Amino acid sequence: MLRIGLTGGLATGKSIVGQELGRLGCRVLRADDLGHAVLQQGGEASLPVIEAFGSEILLPNGDIDRRRLAGIVFNDEAKLKLLNSIVHPSVRLREEAWMQQVEDADPTALAVVEAAILVETGSYRRFHKLVLAVCGEQQQIERAMSRDGATREDVLARIRRQMPLAEKMKFADYVIDTSQTMADTIEQVARLYKSLRSVNSCGNEQ
């Protein structure tokens, strides 16, 4: 089985790339979904996060208010690192369990994990290949403002907190440029899928 990491910057289109890879036949897992799951009541990270950040992050039903939590850590590097140190290990364990399940079911599968900070955390090393989705900064800003309803200032602040795409490209085995048309992106992903299938059929190396 070929393990593939899929990453990018804010609003660079990595989810679109992931969806298309899934349509073509890859098994795809979104780390964001796991992040939500481990913070739900009964999730592995729920109680540790509540203990770390207090009951003020809770909704009346006892769920963690992710928006309020994000507001607390957004401009506080220490608190963000604390949150990540609690959430990321649980997410990684779930990722590994999922990849093992995929491999057990189909040793020839292409298993894709889509996550925002694979390079920053060093998690990219757990994968045979790393795919990076990129576009221009102005496109990132426009897409994020439209998608999230955020202000230009908030979007720029989020982009500045991430590793520059030019730096991430040094770690990538494949780069998908989503700055053109959707048809162009789909064509690039089709070529990527063909290449990944070829690599997998030839065997992979850690």
- DSSP class of 164: P
Q: What is the CATH code of the structural domain delimited by 1-26+109-198?
A: 3.40.50.300
The answer, yes or no, to whether residue 203 has pLDDT greater than 80, is: no
The answer, yes or no, to whether residue 161 has pLDDT greater than 90, is: no
Q: Is 194 exposed, middle or buried (0-12, 13-18, 19+ CB in 10 A)?
A: exposed
Residue 202 has what pLDDT? 78
Mean pLDDT, the chain, rounded, equals 94
Beta pairing, strands 110-114 & 2-8: parallel
* pLDDT band of 204, cuts 50, 70, 90: low
How far, in Å, CA of 119 to CA of 184, rounded? 26
Give the closest residue to 4 by CA, choosing from 60, 25, 13.
Answer: 25
Q: In this structure, are residues 8 and 139 in contact, taking their beta carbons and an 8 Å threshold?
A: no
Q: Where are the beta strands (DSSP E) in the chain?
A: 2-8, 27-30, 110-114, 129-134, 174-177
Domain with CATH 3.40.50.300 in the chain: 1-26+109-198, 32-107
Token code pair at residue 6: 């899929």
96-150 pLDDT, tens digit per residue, is: 999 999 999 999 999 999 999 899 999 999 999 999 999 999 999 999 999 988 8
CATH class of the 32-107 domain in this structure: alpha beta
